[in-house]
Amino acid sequence: MFGQLSQFTHLLRIVRVLAHHNLDEYLANIAPLKPYLFLLHIFPRRKDDAPRGQRLREALQELGPVFVKLGQMMSTRPDLIPDDIAEELSLLQDQVPPFPGEQALLILEQAYEEPVSHHLVDFNLEPLASASVAQVHDARLNDGTEVIVKILRPGLEPVIERDIDLLFMLARMGEKYSPDFRRLRAVEVIDEYSKTIHDELDLMREAANASQLRHNFSTSPLLYVPEVYFDHTRTNVMVMEKIHGTTVTKVDTLVENGIDLQQLSHSGVEIFYTQVFRDGFFHADMHPGNIFVLDDGRYAAVDFGIMGTISDIDKHFLAENFLAFFNHDYRRVAQAQIDAGWVPEGTRVDEFESAIRSVCEPIFAKPLCEISFGRVLVRLFRVARRFNMEIQPQLVLLEKTLLYVEGLGRQLDPQLNLWDTAKPYLEQWARQEYGPKAFIKEMRRQAPMWWKMGPRMPMLVNNVLEQASRGELQLTQPDENLKQLRDETRRGQKRLFHAIVGSALLISAALLAALDGYSPIMAGIAPLSSWLLGGLGALLLFVSWPSNRNK
């Protein structure tokens, strides 16, 4: 009970902070919050005329690290939120005061279950950086190797669970009462955020991600991935090689070091497409703080908590989409998205093509070096949502990463033409994947399976033919409309039951009050039992009343 009271109190605090920053207009349609929002009008509010994006950013900063990370994630979803809010949320900084170095040593000792000196020496008590989920220190292994030690912030999981539960509660209430929340797909957004932040709480998972990416680029002249030392890594502790490089945003230092910025920007684009189309496994948190440049001109990446994966099928349709864009073939773009299942099968191709053309043609009128391919992708997804495109988590991460890569590339080389850099790579990839060599390679890969299935094929064919001759062969396909109708009928029966019981309780309350008005326990002019029955009946009637979503 105390836990529920604490959660309710924290929810009221969230609403109060949003109201203080004049953001309660977004909550005004949520019926359960209306009385509290009305009361909040007696409290002082900020009086400035700051834009809504700035007010939202400052509110999230006041609410704490979990909400800051949510804002950072939302800043990468310009397909869902307006550009002015996305730009303002991108300014959020995930920085919190560090916890003491002595506490970090205690966490290490508990994780290793033995003295820290058996694993690390020269552990620096002063952290190099501190964020909401973890902080990092430098140290050495016993053989003298310089390493970075990443340690999860203590006591973090209960706070995250509490805040995630509250966000889900607010999102569900919002979707029930507010069309703006439904348009935003608030529950899906919070679900995506929950998966992301829970992945970041498992440093063994991050270590495995780093190891896989290092393997993929082990011979690459473009990208270096530091080594993870698994013998010293635990769920809440990760130890990896320390790299010495220059942050990619320090352009003047890169020039002083003799780095070719134009080549560096092109390499970044090639690394991105290699990760996506060759490996189907890509670094999905490539903001400037996670990217360094070594003295030999190679990129070096850190922080592997968020990674994206792309299936072979998705790679095929993505490549088809990109190449169709480059060739202004909008019908092919529309058909590819329908074939991929991203847009419902019954979508009219001509209408979808026309909507895509209306978005892309004004963009292509600009010089190529001024076109943001990431923004084109964002606008395409916005159009697709009008045609009931379902959220594809892998595409969300891809979109976010492409925006990062493009932004970094343009910062290094303002004349970067992403189209000229990407198109030859994609065309070469398509030839490799769908040419004669790829066909032979796939046949070789499938040969053992076909060899094993071959002896069974005649019997399987014979069984099907016998069932068909006896009229026993049936092809079934689930009817989504029937399922939806069945679910709606079930909900209607529940509402009817609540309405009948609620009405009966109200009538009973009225009869008790109308008898002689006397009861051992009175509450005003009516017996207490009348108030209790009447209140319960009114609540059941309220629950049974159809919401806007069910109309």
How confident is the model over 79-131, as pLDDT tens digits? 677 778 888 887 776 667 889 999 999 999 999 999 999 999 999 999 998 88
Q: Do 231 and 284 fall into the same domain? A: no
Helices (H), 131-202: 156-177, 179-184, 186-200
Q: Which of 93, 113, 146 is the last residue of a domain?
A: 93
Give the domain-ending residue among 93, 115, 145. Answer: 93
Determine, yes or no, domain membership for 470: no
Q: Is the pLDDT of residue 1 over 90?
A: no
In a domain, 63, yes or no: yes
Q: Say whether both 441 and 415 belong to one domain.
A: yes
In a domain, 276, yes or no: yes
Q: Give the residue numbers spanning the domain of 541.
A: 485-550
Measured between alpha carbons, how far is residue 157 from residues 105, 106, 198, 199, 202 in Å?
Answer: 19, 18, 9, 12, 11
Same domain (yes/no): 395, 505? no
What gap in Å lies between CA 352 and CA 387, rounded to an integer?
A: 8
pLDDT at position 230 is 95
Indicate the pairing of strand 223-224 with strand 246-247: unpaired
Contacts of 10 (CB under 8 A, 6+ apart): 162, 163, 166
- Residue 471 forms part of a structural domain: no
Q: What is the pLDDT of residues 288-335, one digit of tens each?
A: 778 999 999 999 999 898 888 888 888 877 777 777 877 788 888 888
CB atoms within 10 A of CB 449: 9
Q: Are residues 438 and 327 in the same domain?
A: yes
Q: Is pLDDT of 382 > 90?
A: no
- Catalytic position from the list 24, 79, 163, 285: 285
Long-range contacts of 543-551 (CB under 8 A, 24+ apart): 543/495, 543/498, 543/502, 544/494, 544/495, 544/496, 544/497, 544/498, 544/499, 544/502, 545/495, 546/495, 547/176, 547/177, 548/177, 548/179, 549/175, 549/176, 549/182, 550/488, 550/491
Which tokens is 547 given? 């919401």
Could you tell me if residue 205 is inside a domain? Answer: yes
Out of 187-191, 319-323, 458-462, least confident range: 458-462
Question: 551 pLDDT band (50/70/90 cuts)?
Answer: very low
Q: Do 268 and 374 sit in the same domain of this protein? A: yes
* Phi–psi pair at 234, nearest 5 degrees: -130, 180
231-245, 377-391, 457-471: which range is least confident on average? 457-471
What is the DSSP annotation of 54-118? Answer: HHHHHHHHHH-HHHHHHHHHHHT-TTTS-HHHHHHHTT-----PPPPHHHHHHHHHHHHTS-GGG
321/325 Cα distance (integer angstroms): 6
pLDDT winner (highest mean) among 87-91, 242-246, 404-408: 242-246
62 shares a domain with 118: no
190 and 164 Cβ atoms separated by less than 8 Å: yes
Q: Let me know if 285 is a catalytic residue.
A: yes
Verify that 343 and 453 share a domain, yes or no. Answer: yes
Rg for the chain, CA atoms, rounded: 29
Tokens 């836990």 label which residue?
3
Whether the model clears a pTM of 0.75, i.e. scores above it, the answer is no
Q: Does 79 share its domain with 102?
A: no
Which one has a higher pLDDT value, 237 or 529?
Answer: 237
Domain check: are 294 and 414 in the same one? yes
User: Within 10 A of 137 (CB to CB), how many other CB atoms are there?
Assistant: 23
**In this structure, is residue 6 part of a structural domain?**
yes
With a CB cutoff of 8 Å and minimum separation 6, the contacts of 291 are: 247, 248, 299, 300, 301, 408
Hey, how many other C-beta atoms are within 10 angstroms of the C-beta on 103? 14
Total count of domains within the chain: 4
Task: Specify the 3-state DSSP secondary structure of 381.
Answer: helix
More confident residue, 195 or 185: 195
Note whether residue 306 is domain-resident: yes
Task: Give residue 126's region: left, alpha or beta (phi > 0; psi -120 to 50).
Answer: beta
Task: Specify the higher pLDDT residue, 140 or 462.
Answer: 140
| CA atoms of 79 and 183, how far apart (whole Å) | 11
Same domain, 316 and 388: yes
- Shared-domain flag, residues 213 and 138: yes
Using alpha carbons, select from 304, 303, 334 the residue that is nearest to residue 317. Answer: 334
Write b or e for each residue in 11-34: b if 16 or more Cβ atoms lie within 10 A of its Cβ, otherwise e: beebbebbbbbbbbeebebbeebe
Which of 93, 120, 141 represents a domain boundary (last residue)? Answer: 93
Q: Please report where in the chains the tokens 């952290």 appear, as a residue.
A: 127
How many Cβ atoms are within 10 Å of 401's Cβ, its own excluded? 24
Q: Is the dihedral of CA 349, 550, 190, 56 positive or negative?
A: positive
Contact (CB, 8 A) for 38 and 161: no
Note whether 264 and 389 are same-domain residues.
yes
Pairwise CA distance, residues 459 & 457, whole Å = 5
Q: Is residue 476 part of a domain?
A: no
